[in-house]
Structure 1
Amino acid sequence: MPTGYRKATDLPQVIPVFPLDGALLLPGGQLPLNIFEPRYLNMIDDAMASDRVIGMVQTREGGDRLRPHLAPVGCLGKITAFAETGDGRYMITLTGVCRFTVGDELPVQTPYRQVRANYAPYDGDLRPQDGETLADRQPFLTALKHYLDHRGLEIDWESAQAAPPDALINSLAMALPFEAAEKQVLLEAASLTERRDVLITLLEFDAAGGDDDDRPRLQ
C-alpha cells in the first residue's frame, strides 16, 4: 500500500472521524475534500501534526444535528496532499487505507469526534489484491454503458476495458452519485465481486429510469 501500513496493528486504534454523508472512501481510492468548518480545520491541523490519518464515516438515523449517530463502518484515510487557500480553507486528498467498524466514541475535549476503530474484519484491505479478477466483466460494462447513455455521458471505453477490475469498480463506486445508503452498501461489500454486483444493480436501476419509490433494496 502506498500509505505504508502493512498490518492492522500498525494502525491507530483511536481516530478522529469526519462524518460526511454521500462521501465514499475505499481502500486505495483517493478522495479530494474542501475543509472549511472550524472544528474540521482543527482536526486536520492535529492530524497533520501526528500520523495524518482521519476516518471517513457516514451517519445514520438518530442523534442530533451536531452529533448524529455514526454508520457502523467507515474507512481510514491518510492525508496524501494538502494545500491552504487564501481564505483559510484546506484542500486535501485522502488516500484510503483500511475499512473499520466504529467502536466506542470517546469523551474528548476536541471539537471533533473520536472513536475506537476495529480493523480486524477488514485487515485484507492492507494486503495486495494479488490480481483479483472478475471472470466476466461484460455484464458490468454493459450496465455501465446503459447508465452512461441514459445520463448522456461518455468515458474512454478502451481505458475502461483495460483497467484493473478493482481500480475501475472502486473508482466508479466512489464517483457516481448514488444515495448515501447505497454508498454505505458499496463500502461494506465483502469482496470486489460483491461490490461489482451491487454496482450493476444500481446502474441498471438508474438506466431504467426508476424513481425513488422503486429504488432497489440493498442488504
Structure 2
Amino acid sequence: MFPLGAVLLPGESLSLQIFEPRYVALVEDCTDGRREPEFGVVLIARGHEVGGGEVRTEVGTVARITEVIELPGSRYRLRCKGTDRIRIEKWLDDAPYPQAVAEPWPDDPGADDSALLAGLRERAERLHSLTAQFARRNGIRRPPPSASLDELSEDPTIRSYELATRLPIGPTDRQSALSAPDPHSRLTALSTAVDDAIAMMEFRLL
C-alpha cells in the first residue's frame, strides 16, 4: 500500500518520485517479476507522506505500474495507471512498507444519471464563468481553462470517474466520489462539490 496526499481514481494516470526507503522496497518487490506490478493507493486523511504515522482512508485504488525509471541514489520514477477500486478490510504491519488486506469494490447498479449529468455540465460552466470573472478582477491574464465534459464513456461507472478527474475539486471531494457506492451517487457527490465551489467563488466575488 502507498498512502498519498492525493486521490488516485480508476482510469487516472499517476507519476511518483520514489526515494523513501520503505517505498523503494515496495517498488523493488512489485517489480521482481513474481507478481503483478501493482500496489494500492489510499488518501492520507491526516498526517504526511514521509515518515509514517499518518491516518489513512479505507477506500482506495489499485495502481498498475506502467513504467519504471531507475535513478541514482536508490531512487525511482514511476508511471502508473489507476485500475480497480478497493476497500481496505484490515491494515497489517508497516514493515518493510505499509500493507493491508484489501478487496475489489465494484460499483452497485445505480439509477439513471442523465439528469444529473446535464445538471453537472451546467454547474461546471457556471463555475468556469465565475472563475474567469475572478481572474479578470484580480489581473490574472490566463484564467483556468474550462473543464471539458465532452467525449465521455457510455459506461456509467467509467463516465462518473472521468467526470471526477476533470472537475476542479479537491482531494476530500475526490475521495467522496471514489467512495460513492454507484455512478448515480457519485454524480450526486460531484454536483454537491461543484455547488460548494460555486458558492465559495460567489463569496470571493462579493
Asked if TM exceeds 0.5, the reply is yes
Aligned to 2:150: 161
Output one character per residue of 1:172-205: Cα deviation in whole Å (capped at 9) or x when no partner: 4236554433222111111122111211111122
Distance 1:86 1:109, change over 3 A: closer
Output one character per residue of 1:140-189: Cα deviation in whole Å (capped at 9) or x when no partner: 111111222233322475xx333226555424423655443322211111
Aligned to 2:2: 18
Superposed counterparts of 1:36-51, under 5 Å: 36-49=19-32, 50-51=35-36
Q: Check conservation: 2:152, 2:162, Cα contact below 8 A.
A: no
Query: Among the aligned pairs, what percent are the same residue?
Result: 25
Q: Distance in 2 between matches of 1:91 and 1:172?
A: 27
Q: Distance in 2 between matches of 1:133 and 1:31?
A: 30
Aligned length: 185
Q: Distance in 2 between matches of 1:116 and 1:59?
A: 17
Q: TM-score, normalised by structure 1?
A: 0.69
The AA in structure 2 aligned to 1:92 is L
Q: Check conservation: 1:25, 1:174, Cα contact below 8 A.
A: no
Q: Distance in 2 between matches of 1:71 and 1:181?
A: 11
Distance 1:181 1:209, change over 3 A: closer
Output one character per residue of 1:33-86: Cα deviation in whole Å (capped at 9) or x when no partner: 232323212211211113211110123459xx6222321211122112222345
Q: Distance in 1 between matches of 2:146 and 2:159?
A: 12
1:192 and 2:171 aligned: no
The AA in structure 1 aligned to 2:128 is L
SS of equivalent residue, structure 1 residue 42: helix
Distance 1:46 1:78, change over 3 A: same
Q: Check conservation: 1:60, 1:70, Cα contact below 8 A.
A: yes
Distance 1:88 1:194, change over 3 A: same
Counterpart pick for 2:114 among 135, 155, 165: 135
Q: Distance in 1 between matches of 2:176 and 2:118?
A: 22
Distance 1:103 1:155, change over 3 A: same
Structure of higher CA gyration radius: 2
Distance 1:85 1:141, change over 3 A: farther
The AA in structure 1 aligned to 2:114 is A
Counterpart pick for 1:55 among 40, 44, 55: 40
Distance 1:154 1:77, change over 3 A: same
The AA in structure 2 aligned to 1:78 is R
Q: TM-score, normalised by structure 2?
A: 0.72
Q: For structure 1, which runs of at least 5 residues remain unmatched after alignment?
A: 1-16, 212-219
Aligned Cα root-mean-square deviation (Å): 3.3
Q: Distance in 1 between matches of 2:9 and 2:112?
A: 18
Q: Check conservation: 1:24, 1:183, Cα contact below 8 A.
A: yes
The AA in structure 1 aligned to 2:79 is T
Superposed counterparts of 1:81-100, under 5 Å: 81-85=67-71, 89-100=75-86
Aligned to 1:145: 125
Q: Distance in 2 between matches of 1:87 and 1:174?
A: 33
Structure with larger RCO (C-alpha < 8 A, sep 6+): 1
